Amino acid sequence: MKTIKQLNTVVRPLAFAMALAGLAAFGLSGCDDATGKTAEAPAPAGPPISAATVVEKSITETQEFSGRLEAIERVEIRSRVGGFITAVNFKPGSEVKKGDVLFVIDTRPFQAEANRAEAAAVSARAKADLAKLELVRAEKLLADKAIAQREYDEKASGLKELDANARAAQAQYESAKLNLGYSQVTSPINGRVSKAEITVGNLIDGAAVLTSVVSTDRIYASFEGDEETYLRVASQSHKGQPVVVKVGLANEAGFPHEGKLEFVDNQLDPKTGSVRMRATFANADNILVPGLFARVQVGAGAGDKAQTQAILINDRAVGTDQNRKFVFVVGADGKAEYRPVKLGATSDGLRMVREGLKSGEKIVVNGLQRVRPGSPVTAQMVAMDFDPAAPVAAADPLKPDTKVDAKADAKPAAKDAKVAAKAESTTKE
C-alpha cells in the first residue's frame, strides 16, 4: 500500500509536467503557417498618454515680475514750533484734504508774542515817522541857513536808523504771526492719514513726527525688471511712447489694473542684472494701497512691435533635465522623441517656446512620467490647454493605470490556471 502511494507521489507531478509540455508544443505548432514560417508577435502597445498639437498665433509678448505699491506723495507731519498739544482733529485712517487742521498746539504763548511784536513794530514806525517830519523842517532851516549842515546830516542819519528799526520790528511781528499760524498743524496734501503718534497733552518740538499722510488718487508700482525687458521697452519709454503695465494683487486673479510705464532707470545693476522700473496707476476706488505686494505684467509697448508670432505649449508638457528644459514629441511612428527647448514668457496660460519646436508638431502634455525617449506611446489627442484634474463625463483612460495592468496580468494567470486544471484531471484518469 505504501509502495502505491509513493508511486502516485512520483507519477502525478511527472504527468502534470508532460501535459504542460504537450500543450506548449501544440501551441507552437499552431503558430506555423502553410509555408512553415512562424507568425510574428504584434508589437507591444505603449503607455497611454495625452498629446496636443503645438499652437502658433500672434500674441502680445509680456513679462511678469514682483513689485510693491508706493504712494506718489508721502508726508511725515511735524510741527514747526514746540508746545503742548491741545487737540487732535482727525480719525486714524480717514481721508483728509489739503489745509485740514490735524493737530492744535497751545496758541496762547504765540498769540502773546505776536501782540508784543505788533506793539514794538507800531512804536518803531511812529519814531521813524517823527524823524521824517523833523528832517523836513531841518531842510527848510538849512535853506534859510538857520542850522548847520552837520545838524542836518545827523537828523538824516537818525531817520535812516529809525526806519531800519521799524522794518526790523515789523519783521519780528511777521515771524510771530507765522509761529501763531504754525500752532495749527495742517495737512499739506490730499490723502489718507495714519494714526496720531503723539496724543493730546504731550509736549513736542519740531523733531517729533505727529503722523503721516499718503496720496491715494494715483499710485506707483515699483519693480526690478530684467535685461531682456529693459532692451524691449526702455527705448520706447525714453521716447515717450506708451508701454502698458498691469498689476494684480494677492487676492486677485490675473492683472485687472492697467497703467503706464512712468520711469526706467538709466543703468542696470551689474550685480543682479536688473533695472529699476516704475509704473503709474489710477486709484479712484482706493483698492491699491501703498506697501502691498503686486504681480506686475509688462507689455511690449505700442505699434508693430507689440505683436509677435509665437509657438505656445502647456507648462504640463515641460520637463526638467538638470539645467535644461525638454518636451517629448510624438513622431509619425508613434514613438516619443526627446526635444530640448528654450522657453519664454507666458500668454493666456500657455508658455512661449523660443527654440526647439515647430507649429503642428504633437507633444506629450500629460503622462510625462510614463514616457521614455524612443519608446512607443498610445496617444490620445486633447486640446493644448487640457487639464487632467478637471471633471469629465467619460472615464479617463489615463487614470486607471493599475486597472489596465491588473487585467493584463489576470489573463495569463487565468490561462495558466485552466492548463493546470486540465493536466491534473488527465493525471487522475
List pLDDT tens digits, range 49-97. Answer: 899 999 888 887 778 899 999 999 999 999 999 999 999 999 999 999 9
> pLDDT of 223-280, one tens digit each?
999 888 888 888 887 787 888 899 999 999 889 999 999 999 988 988 888 999 999 9
Cα 219 to Cα 116, 184, 251, 290, 400: the distances in Å are 47, 29, 19, 7, 53
pTM over 0.75? The answer is: no
Cα 51 to Cα 330, 336, 385: the distances in Å are 8, 11, 11
Q: Are 287 and 337 in contact (CB under 8 A)?
A: no
- Sign, CA dihedral 144-149-150-153, equals positive
Look at residue 363 and tell me whether its pLDDT is greater than 80: yes
pLDDT bucket at 168, cuts 50 / 70 / 90? very high
| pLDDT value of residue 18 | 53
pLDDT bucket at 401, cuts 50 / 70 / 90? very low
Q: Are 236 and 298 in contact (CB under 8 A)?
A: no
Cα 168 to Cα 116, 121, 129, 186, 315: the distances in Å are 14, 8, 15, 29, 78
pLDDT bucket at 350, cuts 50 / 70 / 90? confident
pLDDT bucket at 101, cuts 50 / 70 / 90? very high
Q: Are 280 and 292 in contact (CB under 8 A)?
A: no
